[in-house]
A and B are shown apart, each in its own frame.
Chain A
Amino acid sequence: MRQRKQLWRQVAVLLGATMLVVAACTGGGATDTTEKEVTVVGSWGGSEQESFLAMVKPWEERTGNTVKYTGSRGLGAYLTTAVASGTLPDLAGLPGPGEMAQFARGGSLKPLDDVLDLETYKADTVPALVELGTVDGKISGVFIKSSVKGFIWYNTANYSGEAPATFDELAAMDPEPADALWCVTLESGADSGWPGTDWIEDFVIRQSGPEVYDAWVAGTTKWTDPAIKQAFEAFGDVLENSFGGPAYINSTNFGGGGNELFTDPPGCLFHHQASFMTDFFKEQGGASEGDYDFFVMPEINSEFSGALTGGGDLFGLFSDKAAAKDLLKYMVTAEAQQIWADRGGFVSANTKVTTYPNPVEQKSADAIKEASVFRFDGGDLMPATMKAAFFTAMVEFAENQGELDSILANLDEVQATAYEAAP
């Protein structure tokens, strides 16, 4: 008798517990993304994340929808898993144009031609960036945020601020009062070497022009080609005239690359880096606004003057949800972009965004608009394996310039297979 009672008690406990589990699942299920919620995954964190949320706030208030944002810097790994398993956010940042093309052709990334107000979008956006977001004739990605590469930064206390007419003139300058002319720093954790790739890209486009640049990026010009080798050699000269030598160059994080501009006595006179570098001057170099300024890297071959490289954060649509489409449409408008621009640390791809909170960002935005030739960051356009090899090659080159020929030969080897695998 007693045993029986115990059995029933146990059954009751078990049933109760099961019900609780079920309740939890269905209870949790209620929070499933509804039509009024848009899930967004991007690489922006910290103040970028805050600015993004501020940018979408008016949209949320107007439509009554909510944006659920997750920031992750491992966007490549994240999206590879998400796409392969078919569990995707509504909107996501894309690691680069190559991945965008892959996802678009695979069918997980939705074309935006019917989503955007196409006429306004094309009229307002830097043409090169519109084109970069296009896969097989359809717009598949939009640039929410852009950056300009190839700025030569200096400390306003050490340099008068007149831009030399040519790069040769710049390279021949006396580093006084600094120790060396340049600061180059390549360490960046898993992406070490990338600041060097920006140098090479800026040399290629200024020495040999956009056609060679495009062919090289597309994998049809070899790395051992004289045009590319010439760029490496020019960068080699820069390294020779850099503060600290290979040990410093390879072991210093790119974020601290400008620190030596602001030391006393300064370690270097100039630092070549993209428009976003100002955050690091403030954060790590201890500089404040007004302590630094820049000029655009001068021309090398006058035939290609006005050429500029840049980058940006691509964004794409992975769902058919109406709210998600509406959000993306809103994000590219000048109205939305202006909100982020006002908060600083932002250069818009939208030419209708005209006011920036500080002269440096204003000059950056103007530089994009005025560039006669604008090309996207070459490394980011290459297939991922090529890009990774390019990064590593810069680290090896900075370590030992004498290895140039074998480094380039190795890059050719990677090039031979990297483009086949890409979709």
Chain B
Amino acid sequence: MDQLVTAIVAVVGVPAALVGYILLTERLIQVLPEKRQGRIRPWFWIAPAVLFLFVFLIYPTINTIVLSFLDAQSRNFVGLDNYVWFIQDRGTIEALRNSVLWVVFMTAGVVGLGLLIAILVDRVRYEPIAKSVIFVPLAISFVAAGIIWQFMYQYQDPSRPQTGTLNALIGLVGLGPTRFTQEEPLNNFALIFIGIWMWTGFAMVILSAGLKGISTELLEAARVDGANEWQVFRGIILPLLMPTIFVVGTTIVITALKSFDIVFTVTNGNFGTDVIAREMWQQMFTPPGNFGRASAVAIVLLLAIIPFMAVNVKRFREQEAIR
């Protein structure tokens, strides 16, 4: 019975309440003089989002900022000590370098491949199958992805048959087995490739949705005018898709910065593969837990995306200016 009530609430009640909220506030707004309606309305529309964000992200972030100036057990004020530790520690600098690798290569790989696939599958008849195949890694849990790549990268002694897919493959052409997750700098790229494999489907879906929104008449008109496919891509598709590419790019940059699960499960940061998000996890959850340092790392992550956000502001201003 309890479950039935929950089910009804989940499927019917919640959407009804949300739609009801907008309709009801609209009624309330319409009581006001017309001039003030436009000024009041937007606040009602963003209020639910802002409320949720405040509770679940903004308040914890303020908390994190405060903690980053306190000691491990959050008892005493230590000034900038945790930040000083961050820039002086050998381990965090290596982690920072690797995080930059993640941001550069994962973003390039995911956006590049996602775009390529979105455009190419648009031209084949087995598009739904192709897209489903690329999408599958997204549907796989992190635990399973860890096992999948263990089967891919596994290393066995050269005197034994290789059980890892890649080592068996390179064995076919006479190369000896390689420790993909342990040999530097190869291992960082092996890990980043897992990230690319998992997230390309994400970029593909969004970019493909954007692509489908581009007017067919526009493309055909260009083709009639004699433009070849490359010219159509450069001249029409790319500029029109740019805002979407931007959104996907920004999201992947942030995902790469935050990436932690892959490194944590495959190498735990050993063999020179540490990244800053794993460093944060380690500081926070290695008992007794250094909440000061962990918070400082989180704040560094936050600061790292400011340049990307600035570019975003610029872009949205442009979008509003031209439409």
* Interface, chain A (partner B; CB < 8 A): 7, 10-11, 13-14, 16-18, 20-21, 23-24, 27-28, 30-31, 76-77, 79-81, 84, 95, 98-99, 102, 179, 189-193, 243-245, 247-248, 250-252, 263, 267, 383-385, 388, 392, 395, 421-423
Contact = CB atoms under 8 A, between A and B. Distances in A.
B250 interface: no
Given A14-B17, A17-B12, A84-B291, 19 more contacts: A10-B20, A10-B24, A20-B8, A21-B17, A24-B5, A24-B10, A76-B285, A76-B286, A80-B287, A80-B289, A84-B289, A190-B268, A192-B267, A247-B177, A247-B182, A251-B182, A252-B155, A384-B286, A421-B72
B23 interface: yes
Contacts of B179: 247, 250-251
A186 to B, nearest CB: 10
B265 A190 contact: yes
- Classify the secondary structure of B's interface with A: helix
A190 B264 contact: yes
Interface in B7-39: 8-10, 12-14, 16-17, 19-21, 23-24, 27
Contacts of B16: 13-14, 16-17
A358 B160 CA distance: 32
23 contacts: A10-B20, A14-B21, A17-B16, A20-B5, A20-B8, A20-B13, A24-B6, A24-B13, A79-B287, A80-B288, A80-B289, A189-B146, A189-B266, A192-B268, A243-B157, A247-B177, A248-B155, A248-B156, A251-B154, A383-B288, A388-B282, A421-B290, A423-B288
Q: Which 3 A-B pairs have the closest CB atoms?
A: A14-B20, A17-B17, A20-B13
B2 interface: yes
Most chain B CB atoms below 10 A, which of A28, A190, A191, A244: A190
Most chain A CB atoms below 10 A, which of B17, B21, B265: B17
Interface in B250-286: 264-268, 270-271, 281-282, 284-286
A147 B260 CA distance: 32
Contact of B287 (A23, A245, A267, A384): A384
Interface of B: 2, 5-6, 8-10, 12-14, 16-17, 19-21, 23-24, 27, 72, 146, 154-157, 159-160, 177, 179, 181-182, 264-268, 270-271, 281-282, 284-291
- Classify the secondary structure of A's interface with B: helix
Contact of B9 (A14, A21, A267, A423): A21
B287 A21 contact: no
Most chain B CB atoms below 10 A, which of A20, A76, A191, A192: A20
Contacts of B154: 251
B24 A11 contact: yes
A17 B14 contact: yes
A252 B177 CA distance: 13
A31 B5 CA distance: 14
A380 B265 CA distance: 21
B288 A247 contact: no
Contact of A250 (B9, B72, B182, B284): B182
A326 to B, nearest CB: 28
A169 B284 CA distance: 46
Nearest to B163: A256
B84 to A, nearest CB: 15
Contact of B5 (A23, A77, A79): A23
A135 B24 CA distance: 60
A135 to B, nearest CB: 14
Contact of A10 (B14, B23, B265): B23
A99 B288 CA distance: 7
A77 B267 CA distance: 18
Given A27-B5, A31-B2, A99 B286 contact: no
A190 B156 CA distance: 20
A302 B157 CA distance: 37
